[in-house]
C-alpha cells in the first residue's frame, strides 16, 4: 500500500517558515565546513600516497556530493516537510525504515557529528591559547562547546540561523584566504613539486583510494541537511533546490582550491606529515607565509568553523523528531515544540546529551567513521527513492527535476556504494559497532509498534 502524504501533526504547525534563499545556502555551507577541510587532506594524502591521486579523490568526492545535492533538491522540493530524509524514506519505503533512520539519528548520527565538531573545536582552542594537549581538559572543553551550541539552538530558528550566517561567512572567507595563500603566496626555492610525474594509484592501491574517499565524504557531508528544515523554509519549491545547489557548488569550489593550495605549498611529503593540532595542513601552510600570526589565524578559523558545525548539527538533526512524533512513529514527548521559541527544545537537549556521551567514549576518528558508515546507507536509499517516487506518485508536484536523470542519481548511488565498500574494508571496530547500533533499531521499532505506539 502506498504511503500517503502526512498531515501536519501537533507541533508542526507551530514551526515558522523563516529561512530564505540566502540563509538556506548558508546553512548548507555551515553544515559542510567543519572539521574535514582541516584534518582530512593529510589523511587522504597518506592513504593514496600520491598527490595527483589525492586531488583526484577530492574531485570525485565533489562530483558525488553535487549529484546527491541535485537529487535531494527534487526530493525535498516535492516533499517540503520538516524532517527531510525521514519524510522521503517514509513516503518511499514505509514507516519501518523511516523509524530506523530516526533511531540512527538519535543514537549514532547526531552524537557523532556533534561530538566530532566539538572535539576539534576544543583542540583548536587549546592550540590558540598555546597550551599542551590534555585529555580530561580537552574532553571537558568539548562538552562545554556542546552546551553552548545547545543554548544557541534553544533561542529560536531565526536567531540561531542568523548567528550561523555570521559564523558561516567568517569561516568561508577564512578558508578562501587559506586557499589564496596556498595558491598565490610566493614559494621558497625549496618548494615541493606540485604533482607527481603522472596520475597514479599509490602503494595503498584502490583500497587506499576508497578509504580516502570515506574521509573526503565526511568533509563534503552537509549537502542534505537543509532538507531537515523544509518545514521552516520560505517558498520551499523554489528555495530548497536553489539553496542546496548554490551551497554545494560553492563548497566544492572552495575545497578544491584549498587542496590545490596544500599541494602547491606542502607537496605530498609535507601534507602527509601534517597530522593534528598545530601541525595540521592549514597550520603548516599559513605558518610558512605568516609565521606565528598564521598559526593563530588557523586555530581561530578552526574554532569558529567547528563551533558553527556543532550549532548546525543540532539545528538540522533535532528537527526529524517533530514529524516522527506527529506521525506516532516515535516518542511524542521528544518532538514537542516550544510555544515561545518555536523549536523542539527537548529534541535539541537530548541530542546534545547524546553528543556529550559520545565525546566521553570515542576519538575523533571513531566519530567520523561511525557517521559515514551510519549515514550513507540512508543517503543511498533516499537518492534511489527518486525512481521509487516517480513510479509510486507520478502526479506528485515536482517544482524541480534532477537534470540528467537517471545518470545523476545513478552516479551518486554508484559512488556511495563504493565508498561504503571502502569504509567497511578499512575502518576499525568502531565502524562495525556503529552499524550494529543502527541495526538495533529494527527490534526497537517492533517493540515500539507492539507495546508503546499511541501512548
Q: Is residue 6 part of a domain?
A: no
* Cell 515536482 belongs to residue: 398
Task: For residue 421, count CB atoms less than 10 angstroms from its CB and return exposed for 0-12, middle for 13-18, buried for 19 or more.
Answer: middle
Q: What distance in Å separates the CA atoms of residue 121 and residue 286, rounded to the nearest whole number? A: 19
State the Cα–Cα distance between residues 15 and 233, nearest whole angstrom: 10
Q: Hey, CA dihedral for 145, 219, 75, 27, is it positive or negative?
A: positive
Mind listing the pLDDT tens digit for each residue in 287-339? 777 777 777 888 888 888 888 888 888 888 888 888 888 887 777 788 888 77
Kindly tell me the burial class for residue 186, based on how many C-beta atoms sit within 10 Å of its own C-beta (0-12, 13-18, 19 or more). Answer: exposed
Q: Please give the tally of structural domains in the chain.
A: 1
Shortest CA distance to 228 belongs to which of 15, 80, 100?
A: 80
Q: Which grid coordinates belong to 252?
A: 566544492
DSSP bridge partners of 19? 233
Which has the closest alpha carbon to 112: 434, 443, 379? 434
- Do the domain assignments include residue 425? yes
Q: Do 203 and 268 touch, CB atoms closer than 8 A? A: no
Residue 335 lies in a domain: yes
Q: Domain range for residue 177?
A: 12-452
Cell of 374: 551510519
Residue 217 in domain: yes
- pLDDT tens by residue, 188-235: 554 555 444 444 545 556 677 877 887 788 788 888 888 888 878 888
The overall average pLDDT reported for the chain is 82
> Would you say residue 380 lies in a domain?
yes
Residue 51 burial by Cβ neighbours in a 10 Å radius (0-12, 13-18, 19+): buried
Find the DSSP H helices in 319-406.
321-326, 345-361, 364-392
| Higher-confidence position of 133 and 65 | 65
Distance CA 267, CA 187 (A): 12
Distance between start and end Cα atoms, the chain: 25
The structure's pTM equals 0.81
Has residue 2 been placed in a domain?
no
d(CA 409, CA 313): 25
Per DSSP, the three-state class of 46 is helix
Radius of gyration of the chain (CA): 21
Please check the confidence at residue 180 and state whether its pLDDT lies above 70: yes
Confidence band, pLDDT 50/70/90 cuts, at residue 385? very high
- CATH number of domain containing 110: 1.20.1740.10
Residue 3 lies in a domain: no
Query: Does 314 fall in a domain?
Result: yes
Amino acid at each position: 500500500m502506498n504511503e500517503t502524504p502526512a498531515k501536519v501533526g501537533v507541533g508542526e504547525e507551530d514551526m515558522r517558515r523563516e529561512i530564505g534563499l540566502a540563509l538556506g545556502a548558508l546553512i548548507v555551507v555551515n553544515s559542510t565546513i567543519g572539521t574535514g577541510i582541516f584534518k582530512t587532506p593529510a589523511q587522504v594524502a597518506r592513504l593514496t600516497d600520491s598527490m595527483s591521486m589525492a586531488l583526484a579523490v577530492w574531485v570525485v568526492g565533489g562530483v558525488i556530493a553535487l549529484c546527491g545535492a541535485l537529487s535531494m533538491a527534487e526530493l525535498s522540493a516535492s516533499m517540503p516537510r520538516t524532517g527531510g530524509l525521514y519524510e522521503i524514506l517514509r513516503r518511499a519505503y514505509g514507516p519501518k525504515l523511516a523509524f530506523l533512520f530516526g533511531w540512527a539519528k538519535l543514537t549514532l548520527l547526531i552524537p557523532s557529528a556533534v561530538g566530532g565538531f566539538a572535539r576539534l573545536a576544543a583542540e583548536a582552542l587549546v592550540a590558540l591559547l598555546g597550551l599542551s594537549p590534555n585529555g580530561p581538559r580537552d574532553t571537558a572543553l568539548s562538552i562545554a562547546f556542546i552546551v553552548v551550541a545547545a543554548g544557541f539552538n534553544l533561542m529560536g530558528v531565526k536567531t540561531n540561523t542568523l548567528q550561523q550566517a555570521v559564523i558561516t561567512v567568517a569561516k568561508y572567507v577564512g578558508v578562501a584566504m587559506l586557499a589564496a595563500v596556498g595558491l598565490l603566496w610566493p614559494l621558497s626555492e625549496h618548494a615541493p613539486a606540485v604533482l607527481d610525474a603522472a596520475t597514479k594509484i599509490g602503494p595503498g592501491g584502490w583500497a587506499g583510494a576508497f578509504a580516502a574517499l570515506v574521509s573526503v565524504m565526511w568533509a563534503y557531508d552537509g549537502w542534505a541537511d537543509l532538507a531537515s528544515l523544509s518545514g521552516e523554509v520560505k517558498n520551499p519549491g523554489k528555495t530548497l533546490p536553489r539553496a542546496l545547489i548554490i551551497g554545494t557548488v560553492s563548497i566544492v569550489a572552495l575545497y578544491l582550491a584549498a587542496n590545490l593550495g596544500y599541494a602547491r605549498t606542502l607537496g605530498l611529503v609535507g601534507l602527509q606529515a601534517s597530522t593534528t593540532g598545530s601541525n595540521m595542513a592549514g597550520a603548516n601552510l599559513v605558518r610558512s607565509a605568516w609565521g606565528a600570526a598564521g598559526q593563530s589565524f588557523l586555530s581561530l578559523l578552526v574554532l569558529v568553523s567547528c563551533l558553527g558545525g556543532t550549532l548546525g548539527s543540532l539545528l538540522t538533526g533535532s528537527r526529524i523528531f517533530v514529524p516522527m512524533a506527529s506521525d506516532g512513529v516515535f516518542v511524542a514527548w521528544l518532538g514537542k515544540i516550544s510555544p515561545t521559541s518555536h523549536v523542539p527544545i527537548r529534541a535539541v537537549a537530548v541530542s546534545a546529551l547524546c553528543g556529550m556521551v559520545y565525546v566521553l567514549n570515542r576519538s575523533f576518528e571513531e566519530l567520523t567513521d561511525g557517521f559515514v558508515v551510519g549515514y550513507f546507507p540512508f543517503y543511498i536509499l533516499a537518492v534511489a527513492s527518486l525512481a521509487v517516487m516517480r513510479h509510486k506518485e507520478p502526479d506528485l508536484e515536482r517544482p524541480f527535476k534532477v537534470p540528467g536523470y537517471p545518470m545523476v542519481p545513478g552516479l551518486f548511488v554508484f559512488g556511495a556504494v563504493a565508498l561504503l565498500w571502502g569504509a567497511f574494508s578499512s575502518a576499525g571496530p568502531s565502524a562495525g559497532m556503529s552499524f550494529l547500533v543502527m541495526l538495533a533499531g529494527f527490534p526497537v521499532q517492533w517493540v515500539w509498534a507492539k507495546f508503546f505506539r499511541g501512548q
